[in-house]
Amino acid sequence: MSAMRYRMIPEQEFSQEPPQPPEPKYRFRWSVFVGVPLVIAAVLFLLNGIDPSFEIEDLLNKLKVINQNRYIRMMCLMVVCIAVLLIVKLFRNKSE
């Protein structure tokens, strides 16, 4: 049984080059180039027709925030960071 397990490999198999991986297939992503602008347009359309029930300044006044400009800038930075992370996740290769 051990002779079957450790059979001798002919030298021909060692001289062969390893197979080349197939070239990646690039395809057009409809969800990115058509879907994302459509979603943005739909959100903007909905935001134009909706009257907000409160404003950020009212919320910050209820929370008794002293420096409201800093908090508003921090919230905007947070939204931008989340958007960047979502974009990176969308465009990252699936194989990684």
Q: What is the pLDDT of residue 83?
A: 94
Q: What is the pLDDT of residue 74?
A: 94
The residue whose two tokens read 């992370």 is 85
pLDDT in tens, the chain (96 residues): 555 555 555 555 555 677 788 887 778 777 778 888 899 999 999 888 888 788 888 999 999 999 999 999 999 999 999 999 999 988 886 665
Q: How far apart are CA 50 and CA 42, in angstroms?
A: 13
Written as six digits, the tokens of 56 are 């950020």
Q: What is the pLDDT of residue 90?
A: 87
CA distances from 65 to 48, 62, 71, 73 (A): 28, 8, 8, 13
